[in-house]
Amino acid sequence: MSESQNPDNRETSTAVSSHEVSHEIIEEGAELHLDFDKLLAVSKGGEPVLPVVVQHARTLEVLILAYVNRPALARSIELGQAVFYSTSRRELWHKGATSGDYLKLEEIRVNCEQNSLLFLVVPEKGGVCHTKDAAGDTRRSCYYRSVKDGKLKFL
């Protein structure tokens, strides 16, 4: 489809919106269902937040992308552990409070425009993601798939 046929320049190759697909298919499937509406939903939520890239302090692997509001950032600093703001549940989310997968906060960095953060962390239990691998273990990162020929491939 040309730009003139698609004036808003939206991706048209995925027939089903990510909102119409189950979490299981999104989290474990091999088809792309990218949530291009996520930032719109975050902005409509009414809570001022910053995106936080969470990176392993030793391996430098990117583990997760999350959000913090002012109280989550203050609590992270106070505890020395990652605390986020859940944009879907609209509440503070102390990573690991229910799973034991705490993220020890080694350093907080601020980008040049002061509109995003980088948390350098060390996982205290090993896993980070809320999903589990085939063995039933918490995945070490939320980035456990890559895109190849429009399909998702498990790493």
Model confidence pLDDT, tens digit, residues 75-121: 999 999 999 999 999 999 999 999 899 999 999 999 999 999 999 99
Output the six-digit token pair for 74. 């203050």
Judge whether residue 15 has pLDDT over 60: no
Show the domains of the chain with their CATH numbers.
Answer: 1-36 (no CATH), 37-154 (3.10.20.810)
Half-sphere exposure of residue 60, counting CA atoms within 13 Å on the CB side? 0
Report the C-alpha gap between 87 and 74 in whole angstroms.
17
Contact 16, 42 (CB under 8 A): no
Report the C-alpha gap between 102 and 100 in whole angstroms.
6
Judge whether residue 19 has pLDDT over 50: yes
